[in-house]
Amino acid sequence: MSFPNHLDANSYEGEIDGISVRWKPQAITRLHDNSRSLGVDRAALKAATEHVAHACAKPLSKTGVKNTIAIVATGLTLPDKSHCTCTLLPGQVNAHIYVNLDEGLVALDDMKVLGEGVAKAGQSAPDPTLSTGKYTFP
């Protein structure tokens, strides 16, 4: 999987194809930690995270993404499958985007999205009309 929809490597706020992207400070810190834990380049993990967040936001007609957690693997910081977490705007929709990085030895370039658990604002469970594929929700 290539990651064409991403910001410059050292930019944590900007626009991708009409969608505003902003990394929260704690997500930037986690990005560095997660890239070390996964043994991948920080810029590549950032690009992958932004790409899947953009791909989730676009069909839902969202115009903004706040990244709260970069892609992490099982057991690193969360006891959940590899995923990233972001808030889609407008509407404060929470998305957990699951990828196959914990299914054996999968290189970041070969990563695939398995599913997206998307919950409306104020909801703790994913909305099946917004969610796709295989997902869980913490």
Per-residue pLDDT of 28-50, as tens digits, reads 998 988 888 888 899 999 999 99
The reported pTM is 0.89
Predicted pLDDT of residue 76? 43
Cα 108 → chain centroid: 13
Non-local (6+) Cβ contacts of 70 within 8 A are: 27, 30, 31, 34, 35, 45, 46, 49, 84
Helix 25-38 and helix 42-57, axial crossing angle in degrees, nearest 10: 120
Per-residue pLDDT of 83-95, as tens digits, reads 889 999 999 999 9
Per-residue pLDDT of 91-133, as tens digits, reads 999 999 988 887 666 788 888 999 999 999 989 889 999 999 8
Instruction: Name residue 119's beta-bridge partners.
Output: 94
Predicted pLDDT of residue 69? 79
pLDDT at 75 over 80: no
